[in-house]
Amino acid sequence: MKLTLTLLTALCLLTAFVTAQKEKWQKIFNGKDFTGWTIRGEKVLNDYRIENGEIVGVSKPGSQNTFLCTNKDYSDFILELDVKVDTAMNSGIQIRSHSRPDFKNGRVHGYQIEIDPSARAWSGGIYDEARRGWLADLTKNPAGQKAFNKYGWNKYRIEANGSMLSVSVNGVPTASIRDTVDASGFIALQVHGTKVERPMEVRWRSIRLMEIGR
């Protein structure tokens, strides 16, 4: 009887923990419209639409980098989402990013998590958009370079906790750094500028976020 009560108590505690974790996840995209999001960029902007609950970013020939940005800033969090991209297209996920009049006339800048289906295979690397460039590429991470499936969906997990930034793609660690330049900022989905003479698409789905320490 005592063993049974102990097991029952442990099961109840485990159930409570799992329930609490589920309750902490937030859907920052409602799947229906762009409430809570703003498109930012310069000159010729790329397009975004919603299809089957997915965000679809569409490139335009001659366009500049375009960003679908959350109106809310986030500091410490875990962000998970699925990505599928045209094999000829570069894209990215901005975190702790900014758009300010006093910085290059409002140009979006900040940490970017790379989406790169090219032969270089740096998907999951960490780039500093419009400022310092690459902070962590995948030249010394061959396992990380093989993680991205350029023909299908890919699961990204991005953790920002204090000065620590960590990324995994399809469960494989791709990049991890300590950096103190940005402690908070918006999240954004990038459609990269292109000169390719055909429309290209990048898709995001299953977007969810858990704020750490909340």
Residue 23, pLDDT > 70, answer: no
- pLDDT score of 42: 81
- pLDDT score of 198: 81
- pLDDT score of 12: 39
Mean pLDDT for the stretch of residues 90-116: 95
Mean pLDDT for the stretch of residues 150-179: 98
Assess if residue 140 is contained within a domain.
yes
- pLDDT score of 45: 84
Assess if residue 22 is contained within a domain.
no
Assess if residue 3 is contained within a domain.
no
Written as six digits, the tokens of 53 are 């609950």
Residue 109, pLDDT > 70, answer: yes
Task: Provide the domain limits for residue 178.
Answer: 28-211
Assess if residue 46 is contained within a domain.
yes
Confidence of residue 199 (pLDDT cuts 50, 70, 90): confident
Assess if residue 15 is contained within a domain.
no
Residue 6, pLDDT > 60, answer: no
Residue 68, pLDDT > 80, answer: yes
Assess if residue 5 is contained within a domain.
no
Cα–Cα distance list, 194 to 24, 38, 126 (Å):
38, 21, 21
- pLDDT score of 212: 95
Confidence of residue 44 (pLDDT cuts 50, 70, 90): confident
Coil vs helix vs strand at 11: helix
Provide the CATH number for the domain around residue 119. 2.60.120.560
Spatial distance between the Cα atoms of 105 and 47, rounded to a whole number of angstroms = 21
What integer best gives the mean pLDDT of the chain? 89
Residue 122, pLDDT > 70, answer: yes
Total-model pTM = 0.87
- pLDDT score of 86: 94
Assess if residue 10 is contained within a domain.
no
Assess if residue 19 is contained within a domain.
no
Nearest partner of 190 among 78, 96, 59, 49, judged by Cα: 59
> Please, are residues 177 and 136 in contact by the beta-carbon 8 Å criterion?
yes
- Per the structure, how many domains does the chain have? 1
- pLDDT score of 18: 37
Residue 214, pLDDT > 80, answer: no
Spatial distance between the Cα atoms of 176 and 11, rounded to a whole number of angstroms = 35
Residues near 20 by Cβ (< 8 Å), separated by ≥ 6?
Answer: none
- pLDDT score of 13: 38
